[in-house]
């Protein structure tokens, strides 16, 4: 009888041990799953997808403060490329200018209106003139808000009989705004003006 009780007690202890091990294993598994879930969730939140040439590209989000110098320069360069890269095609000119005007305030629109008034764009189209721009450097002052910048570039104007290179210097201020589909960097150029635009060289073709 006593032997039976002892065996039952041993079996009970063994079952209890198995149950405790099973519960601990379950808790460990749950903890692992929860930990894995939060880790994956955090990774997904730090991953963004951007469109590059119509394709989704995986990128990792970071503190915007770290990217301000890069994004600010790219915003300024993009604006100038849209504003000054002009083929002899009226529709394409309008598309480029429309994109540029999303990135700047009325000061850019005023400059555009001045060029329209003197038939600048009409001359490009009618004379089959192609205009491109190369950004040489962009200087930014982040010690003041809005940020101040000066852009140094070279314009190349290709005509039927000649190729002219012109120096282009512009300056303005850069204000932080909300990002949008038409303004992916989240900056707005203000008080923009052309400081210098003169011939460097003219070569016959």
pLDDT level of residue 67 (50, 70, 90 thresholds): confident
Answer with the residue of higher pLDDT: 67 or 14.
Answer: 67
Distance CA 72, CA 185 (A): 7
Q: Is the same domain home to 87 and 15?
A: no
Distance CA 162, CA 165 (A): 10
Structural domains in the chain (count) = 2
Instruction: Out of 53-62, 91-100, 148-157, pick the least confident.
Output: 53-62
CATH of the domain at 108: 3.10.450.230
57 in any annotated domain: no
Mean per-residue pLDDT for 6-32? Answer: 62
What's the pLDDT score for residue 169? 97
Show the tokens assigned to 7.
Answer: 């065996």
Q: Is the same domain home to 22 and 80?
A: no
SS3 93: helix
Q: Is the same domain home to 26 and 124?
A: no
Mean per-residue pLDDT for 47-71? Answer: 55
Q: Is the pLDDT of residue 165 over 80?
A: yes
Q: Is the same domain home to 151 and 75?
A: yes
Residue 98 backbone dihedrals phi, psi, to 5 degrees: -60, -40
SS3 41: helix
Q: Is the same domain home to 96 and 197?
A: yes
Distance CA 150, CA 196 (A): 11
Residue 31: give the domain boundaries. 2-48
58 in any annotated domain: no
Q: Is the pLDDT of residue 6 over 60?
A: no
Instruction: Out of 35-44, 158-167, 169-178, pick the least confident.
Output: 35-44
SS3 129: coil
What's the pLDDT score for residue 137? 95
What's the pLDDT score for residue 184? 87
- Considering only CA atoms, which of 88, 154, 157, 159 is closest in space to residue 121? 88
Mean per-residue pLDDT for 16-22? Answer: 62
Give the H/E segment covering residue 195: strand 187-204
Show the tokens assigned to 185.
Answer: 């960097």
89 in any annotated domain: yes
- pLDDT, mean over the chain: 81
Q: Is the pLDDT of residue 58 over 80?
A: no
The per-residue pLDDT for range 73-98, each reduced to its tens digit, is: 999 999 999 999 999 999 999 999 99
Show the tokens assigned to 40.
Answer: 């994956």
112 in any annotated domain: yes
């Amino acid at each position: 009888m006593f032997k039976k009780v002892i065996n039952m007690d041993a079996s009970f202890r063994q079952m209890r041990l198995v149950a405790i091990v099973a519960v601990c294993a379950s808790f460990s598994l749950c903890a692992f799953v929860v930990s894995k879930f939060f880790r994956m969730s955090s990774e997904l939140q730090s991953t963004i997808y951007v469109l590059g040439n119509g394709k989704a590209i995986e990128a990792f989000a970071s503190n915007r403060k770290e990217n301000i110098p890069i994004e600010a320069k790219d915003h300024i360069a993009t604006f100038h490329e849209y504003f000054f890269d002009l083929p002899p095609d009226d529709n394409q000119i309008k598309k480029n200018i429309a994109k540029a005007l999303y990135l700047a305030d009325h000061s850019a629109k005023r400059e555009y209106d001045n060029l329209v008034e003197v038939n600048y764009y009409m001359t490009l189209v009618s004379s089959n003139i192609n205009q491109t721009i190369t950004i040489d450097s962009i200087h930014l002052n982040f010690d003041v808000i809005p940020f101040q910048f000066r852009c140094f570039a070279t314009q190349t104007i290709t005509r039927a009989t000649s190729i002219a290179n012109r120096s282009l210097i512009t300056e303005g201020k850069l204000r932080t705004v909300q990002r949008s589909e038409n303004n992916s960097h989240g900056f707005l150029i203000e008080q923009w003006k052309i400081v210098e635009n003169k011939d460097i060289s003219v070569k016959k073709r």
